Amino acid sequence: MKNKTLRIATRKSPLALQQTKYVQKKILSLYPDVNIKLVPIVTNGDNILNKSLSKIGGKGLFIKELEIALLENKADIAIHSMKDLPVNITKELCLVSVCKRGNPLDTLVSNHYNSINQLPQGAKIGTSSLRRQCQLITYRPDLIILPLRGNIETRIAKLDQGKYDAIILATEGLNRLKLQNRITQIIPAELSLPSCGQGAIGIQSRIHDKKMIFFLSRLNHINSFIEINAERAFCRKLNAGCHIPIGSYAIIKKNQIWLRGLVGSPNGETILKGEKIGRYNTGEKMGYSLAKELLQNGAQNILNNIFLQQFNYI
């Protein structure tokens, strides 16, 4: 890779650029002679801010243009937030590496209240995540959930303008932007199970570019990769997109992996949860097994109802 120019496709949002610079620094620490060129791209997900993701095509809208840049050889690799990467990847591409995962949990951000429990009855909460909405409503049915789109800075600005009593964001996004001072409460997984892959950065490349895959393999954090692979297997079996309130969270401890999964109805009336513990090298099988178990216990009915609602909406 000496004297080669490595072209990195990235979204233009402040968080995406920060994540890309993190990967750039990692690459240069291993291969100091590589020349790196950033290829900033604006995606459809960045442009459409007045509709929820579930109504405009899902999280894949944040990566499509980056994948096109890879397929058209306008970039060599693309950097993604793992929670935005669909579980079924374009067949000509592959997930090469997952960097060491940061904090995967959700965070409450509020200017007046220190925790979800302290929020007054009827408090206005900003989030466009059906997963967060579902779990919040179940825990506090009195809360009013309002849509909230835009980058992290835009969302915080709306909070500061008094449009919400609190908003829910990803903890690691705030950490990466050095906005830890805005964190009011890190919400435990028992209350808000994270999204699949939340808190991790993924590196994508062309599946036939063997040299690039070998070159980037040293950036892969094996435990994070195994954890997220288990989470993605759970979501893949459910054929889940962002129109489904779904959470999955895996942790490796002492050669064992603990996987938790959740499927719920958007209104929070029904939430199904499950978990499995097994050897760390069985994470993918556990993901499929846990999803199958929830499907048999009622998740299939939830998915069918959501599909019908989406069909009728269309």
Side by side, which strands form the sheet with 35-41?
35-41, 5-11, 77-81, 201-206, 93-98
Q: Provide the 10 A C-beta neighbour count for residue 68.
A: 16
Backbone Cα Rg of the chain? 19
Catalytically active residues are 84
State the pairing for strand pair 77-81/124-126: unpaired
Handedness of CA 302, 304, 310, 313 (dihedral sign): negative
> Cα–Cα distance between 82 and 89 in angstroms, integer?
12
- The 3-state DSSP class for residue 67 equals helix
CA 16 to chain centre: 13
One-letter amino acid of 106: D
- Strand segments, DSSP code E, in 134-187 are 144-146, 166-170, 185-186
Q: Which of 106, 135, 125, 116 is nearest to 271 (CA)?
A: 135
CA 292 to chain centre: 22
Q: Is 92 exposed, middle or buried (0-12, 13-18, 19+ CB in 10 A)?
A: exposed
For tokens 């069985």, what's the residue? 282
